[in-house]
Structure formats: C-alpha cells, structure tokens
Chain A
Amino acid sequence: MNLATILEGHDTDRVAVIDEDTSVTFGELQEWAASVRQLLVDRGVGADDRVAIPTGNESMFIAAAMGALGVGARVIPMKPTNPLPELERKLASIDPTIMLVCSQAAWTLDHADAVPCPIVDMREVRRSVADAPPIVERDPTDIACMMLTSGVSGHAKVAMVSHGSLLWAQEAVCERADGGMSADDVVLCALPLAHIFGLNVVLLASVRMGAKLIMQTRFDVDDSLRLVREHGITVLAGAPPMWRRWSMIDAPPGTWNTVRLAVSGAAALPNEVFAAMKEQHGVKVEEGYGLTETCAVVTTSRGYSLKPGSVGVPVAGIEMLLVEDDGSVVEAGDAGEIVVRGPGVFSGYYEDAEATDRSLTADGWFWTGDMGVVDDDGYLYIVDRIKDIIIVNGFNVYPAEVENILIEHPDVRGAVVVGGLHLDTGETVIAHVLGDIDTAELDAFAQARLSRYKCPTEYHLVEELPVAPTGKLIRRELR
C-alpha cells in the first residue's frame, strides 16, 4: 500500500484540477508525479526522508506530494509565504532532506541560504519521464505526512500522520452510503494545503475519488462565488471566516444551486453564520470536529439532524470519551477533556517525545486538550481549550463564555479573554476588546450578565485581535 496510489487508476483523460485557466488531467498528473519520483530517486531521496513543499493551492503540489510519497518519503506541506525567521524556525524543526518549491512559493528560491537542504524549483521539473521508478510499497503505519501544527496552544509541533491514517480519514469523509464524494463532484479548493483540513479532507479526498478540483489561489469571497457559478461547484469546504463572508454576500440568484455538500471545519462555526447560510442561501453547512492529530476527523454532523452549536457525533471507527484529569469518565452531561482513539489518530510529534507522551497513551488514546460536552443524543459540543481556562478562586472561567457575552454588546466587534495573575484570587479575567466603547459601560454590561467571578477586572481596547486564518483566536498572544 501507499497513499500515492490514490492518484492512480482514474481515467487518464478526465480533468483532475483546474488552476486559474489551465486544466490538468489525471493522466498528466500521474506522469508528473512519476517524473518527481525519478528526480527524487536520482537525488538519493527515499524511505522516510523529509520533503518540504512550500505551496499555494496549485496542481503542482499534487505532483510534488504524490511523487515524494511514491518514493516512500514523508511530505511536509508548507504555506506559500512565511516571514523568513518563521521559515527558518520551521525548517529547523523538520530537518528537511530536500525542498520542492511550487510556483506560488517561488520567493523561497531567493533565500536558498536560509534553507538547510537542496532546493528544487518545481516549475523546472519535467512533466513526464520514460521508465520512471514505480511507487514503492509502504506499511500503513509508515509516516506519510508531517504537519506543522498551527501552534495555537503553544510552540509549533510537527504531527506525524501515517499512510493508513490519512487513507482512513479520506474514506470516512468520502465513502458514505448517505452521501459522500464521488467522481462526479466538483470541489472548490480554497483552504490552505498546509492545514490538514485542506490537505486531506479537500485535496487528497478529491484526488482519491477522481473528482474535479477547482483551485483558488488566494481566498477572495467574490471570486470564490464566481468559481462556484462557473464550474458548478458541488462540494464547498471552508473555515468559519470564509463561511461568514459567504453568508454576508448577496450572491446572484442560483449561485448556490449546485452546492450539495457544504462543510465547515478547523474552528467552531458561529451559530449566526450557520443560520444565515441556511435561511438566506438555503445551504445547510455541516460541521465536524477534528484536529491535525486525528487527520481532521473525529465527529461529523453529516447524516444526522443538525443541531446548532454541535459538531455532530463520532464517525464510525472513532472511540471518544470525555474524561477528568485522572482519566475517569465524566458523569453523563458533564464537561470533560475529549480523548479519542481510532485509525485516524497520529503517530506522535516529530522529535518531541515529551509532547508525544503528554498527549498520546501507549494504547492509542489521544488527549486533545479540548473540553467538550456530549448531549443525551450523543452529539458533541466544544466548550474551550483546556489551557485557556482561567481559574479564579478555584472556579473555572471559560474564556469563550465571557467572550460570547462581551460581543453581544452592539459596540463590540470582537473580544479575547485571557487570564492574568492576581495576588488574592490566583488568576483574574482580562478582556481585550475591539470596538469603540466606554469600558465602564461594558463592565456594567458584563456584570449584569455574568457571575461575579467571571467578570473581567481589566479591559483593554485594541486595534485588532490575534486570529488565525482558520478563525481560531490565538489567546496566548495576549497573555
């Protein structure tokens, strides 16, 4: 077995990807990937070597990644642009054997001295080659990809995911009797490929099913809707900020008619965005929950009745529990840390045994660091990141709860709540607020709606809030 084989077996004349105005068929992609295999073998790259691929959303990435996987190497997808110090830090943590630079990341070529390995410009790689080396056999537990986590919870960690895990997660997404993906689908790929959601749930799942991928180089709400109309997009996946923008656009009639599968992931979808998509555009956005460390798949709302605020139920094959710190399962209806086990769970963090031991048990349970609640019907609701919980006089304050109250004020455009040290209470609640508002008025607003221990004791008006592209608040930047 080898993850690279998902590119094989499709009708070679079928269009696999459309980049801007260029179509690439499955046959062309297969030859291109074979050519990359030849290049890597010629350079001595083989099993478990690390191939860094800075890339935008472009067909070239598929050739580079499938070529690297085909020789047994590990793929590390990277953002197309990185501030140079960040690029150096990331490369130091993955220790790449070789770097394949896709066209949208071409600036990297000008900084070869910052890259500690050979660099190849993918634009100069031949698109076909005679007698290329075959795809090598791999074990399902062999590492296929190393994902740079977004590091929302701290320093960036590199999650290793296996061929078997990624394949299982694709299967969980695609091959469902109640409506997965098929070769007839047209999929918009607007999510970044350096993120597991864009990589595995959108791009690799589409390749596997032989669907047609429409690449959007850089997310732009108007342009994405043009692509939806022109190509008759049937599968639309996005992060909550993208769904928010789609929900606010007054799209021409019929724009959404072809969309049969709308999926949100990477962060919690606000209820009002869900409602706006459903009521104004007739699109039911399905939500799931997953992490890089679970190949993006834990729960799904697909095939179940949608409950606002819930991220659905565990997909078949996933075991999920809510536990106390000591590993005992919480009482029914109570909140606890989400722990999961199943074929999609990652293999550990690269060269970080300590972080691996902290989150992954010997028998495969992954402690997600997320707090959740399960209702009587088995639906999961995400409460908050455990590390973000503020402890005031022994009482737990969930920042999301306080933030949700603050943003109810009409003059507040955004809020981030973090803990600060306090001599008497241990920690105290500090609010960073985006908006033109008198803090005394906001304090009165909060006091009327929150228990006293949850009320912020400090308010800071800020010009902008630290938000990751996925829509997740990066609270640690304000601590």
Chain B
Amino acid sequence: MTATVSTPTITTDLPDFRFEEAPDLPGNESLSRYGVAGIRRLVHKLWDVTIEGLENVPLDGPAILCPNHLSFCDSVFVPMSLPRRVWAIGKGEYMDDWKTKHLFPAFGMIPVDRSGGDAAKAALDTASRVLQGGHLFMIYPEGTRSRSGNLHKARTGAARLSVQNDAPIIPVGHIGTLDVQPPDQFMMRPGLPVTVKFGAPMRASDIGDPNDPRTIRPFADAVMFEIAQLTGQKYVDTYASSSDTPDAAPTDVQTPKPSGPTTPSAGPGPRPSSIGVPPGRISVPRPAAMAGV
C-alpha cells in the first residue's frame, strides 16, 4: 500500500492544541483543560521531544492510536504529542487512590474494573463510546509492556474497534521512553531525547473485506508492521508477557543493553477464552494431552 507513503513532517515544537469538550466521558472538564495544557508545556520543556508525521493525526473525528509499549511513560509522551485530547482505558484501582482518582480521568483515563469476568468486553464497549463520540482513543496493541524490547504480536481488539466504529488506526512508534523511565523506576529522567512518530491512517478495507472476520488478524499484523517500520524494533510473532526477559539483541538503538538474563523467552500463551461458538460446543482441551502435539 505504497500509495499512502509520503515523507512525514518533523518538528520539535509543541503542536497546536484544540480542547474538545466531552462532558459525557469521565474526567473533570476544567481540570482537563488547564491540567493538560500545563503538563504539555512541562513535558516539552523537560524533554527533547521530536514529533514526526503529526499530519497523520486527524483534527476531527474518531481515530485509534496504536503505539508500541516499552515504558510506563509511553502513556505520557504519546498523549502529550497530540493536537487533541485522547482517551484510554486504565485500571479501576486508580480510582481508589486519592492522588489519581481525579487527575487520571482528567487526562483521559477511563477506569475499567479488570477483575470482572467480562472485563475485556467492558473495555471495548467503553472504547466504542469514545470513538462514537468522534474522539481519539489510544490502545497498546501488544496488550502489555514489551519486556523483551521487541515488538510483539498484536491483540486484535484495536483492529476490531476500528471495523466496528469505522475509525482508522494511526500506528504510533516512539523511541527513547525506556531511557526516560526504565522498568521499575518511579521517576522519569529529564533532559533526554524522545521521538514520537505517527504513521499514515490504516483501515481494514485496505487489507480486505472489513465484514469478513478473516480480515481482522492480517489487519492487526499490518499495523504492527507499520509500527516496526517507525521504531526499527524486531517483530516477534508471540504475545508480550510479563515473564519475558530482554532480548539479547534489542534493535531499539536507544534502549540500554540489559545486564540481566539475555535468553529470549516466548512466555506462556494467552489465557483460554470463549470463541463465540454456540453453547454446548466448546470445551478446553486438557493441557497434558496437548503438550505432546
């Protein structure tokens, strides 16, 4: 799909920002309006932020931002590089803490209780609400931080949201966040360079028939391919897992070489879930029997 490829703009300026009102979504509007403006200026003052391809982010209407995920501070740098407000799903537990219960929703976090049985559906329903309102929604397609440094296989949620809500996916690749906030560090180290790159909008119809469920996985894979082009990360066709260890040869040049274990690990597979076949036709195979296959 070379037709969409063009040279992206590169800027180190703080992009213009348009505050869009969203009284139906969580978060105090006033706190959001003034808080976001302040944090944006602060972030661009404390770090050397470069933004590429900002023209790929639509100034109106819904879109899904899909960044790679290496550090906790990804959730700061990507939103603060945007020209509009953005929403994302966050842990319901943040609402139990007085420090975060007002602040995080004002910055676009929508709390979802992840302990319930239908947590994934609740999260996607919430995302649809954001997109139907014509807003930006951000979701990490890898599902969790990449501990290996590689770019991992996508979960299909973003691709399905895109089809269901007729919203394009904007692939996002950032470089440098892992140096700003390495794993398990609370503080963000100031003064370092961070680059956030926005790729061209993608739609399932570029891949195939959006109504055919076979289009979803190749669409999700194609988004990861574009992210890999933006970050230079090596792609691995396994899901990211909390038990992964840093890859021996991380391709993100700004990521420090780990001193810990260097053996790559695929980690366990995804948790079993229903595949939507009518009741009575599903059962999960016993792992012992499957292990021999």
**Residues of A that sit less than 8 Å from B by CB:** 309, 313-314, 318-335, 339, 341, 357-359, 361-363, 365, 367, 373-378, 381, 383, 391, 393-396, 398, 401, 404, 447-453
Contacts and interface: CB of A to CB of B under 8 A. Distances in A.
Contacts of A375: 213, 276
B281 A318 contact: yes
A393 B235 contact: yes
Most buried by A among B217, B226, B235: B217
B285 A381 contact: no
Interface centre among A313, A327, A339, A367 (most CB of B within 10 A): A327
A329 B2 contact: no
A470 to B, nearest CB: 21
Contact of B293 (A318, A358, A398, A447): A358
A242 B49 CA distance: 62
Contact of B216 (A314, A373, A393, A396): A373
Interface in B204-257: 206-209, 212-214, 216-218, 221-222, 224-226, 234-237
A363 to B, nearest CB: 5
B216 A394 contact: no
A327 B292 CA distance: 10
B187 interface: no
A324 B216 contact: no
B213 A324 contact: no
B225 A452 contact: yes
Given A329-B275, A374-B277, A395-B235, A363 B3 contact: no
B236 to A, nearest CB: 6
B291 A396 contact: no
Contacts, number: 147
Contacts of A453: 225
A447 B2 contact: yes
A373 B214 contact: yes
A243 to B, nearest CB: 20
B286 interface: yes
B213 A365 contact: no
A383 B291 CA distance: 24
B185 interface: no
A333 B160 contact: yes
Given A363-B285, A396-B221, 10 more contacts: A309-B212, A314-B281, A322-B275, A327-B269, A329-B270, A329-B274, A334-B216, A361-B292, A378-B281, A395-B221
Contacts of A376: 276
A398 B218 contact: yes
B161 to A, nearest CB: 11
Interface in B170-215: 206-209, 212-214
B117 interface: no
Contacts of A394: 234-237
B260 interface: no
Contacts of A391: 237
Closest 6 CB pairs of A and B: A327-B290, A328-B269, A361-B289, A329-B272, A394-B235, A326-B269
Interface of B: 1-3, 155-156, 160, 206-209, 212-214, 216-218, 221-222, 224-226, 234-237, 268-278, 281-287, 289-293
B253 to A, nearest CB: 18
B91 to A, nearest CB: 20
Contacts of A326: 268-269, 290
A398 B212 CA distance: 15
A141 to B, nearest CB: 19
Contacts of B286: 363
A335 B1 contact: no
A209 B191 CA distance: 81
Nearest to A391: B237
Contacts of B156: 331, 333-334
Contact of B237 (A359, A365, A395, A447): A395
B216 A357 contact: no
Nearest to A365: B285
B275 A330 contact: yes
Given A339-B285, A365-B290, A453-B225, A331 B270 contact: yes
Nearest to B2: A447
A135 to B, nearest CB: 35
Contacts of A365: 285, 289-290
B236 A401 contact: no
Given A378-B278, A393-B235, A396-B221, A329 B273 contact: yes
A113 B281 CA distance: 51
A396 B214 contact: no
B60 to A, nearest CB: 27
B208 A327 contact: no
A335 B278 contact: no
A361 B287 CA distance: 10
25 contacts: A313-B281, A320-B281, A324-B269, A327-B269, A328-B270, A329-B272, A329-B274, A329-B275, A331-B270, A332-B273, A361-B285, A363-B285, A363-B289, A365-B289, A373-B214, A373-B216, A381-B214, A383-B217, A394-B237, A395-B237, A401-B207, A404-B208, A448-B2, A448-B3, A451-B207
Contacts of B2: 447-448, 452
A373 B213 contact: yes
A374 B156 CA distance: 13
Nearest to B150: A394
Given A326-B290, A333-B160, A401-B208, A396 B273 contact: no
Nearest to A364: B289
B284 A335 contact: no
A333 B212 CA distance: 11
Contacts of A404: 208
B292 A357 contact: yes
A390 to B, nearest CB: 12
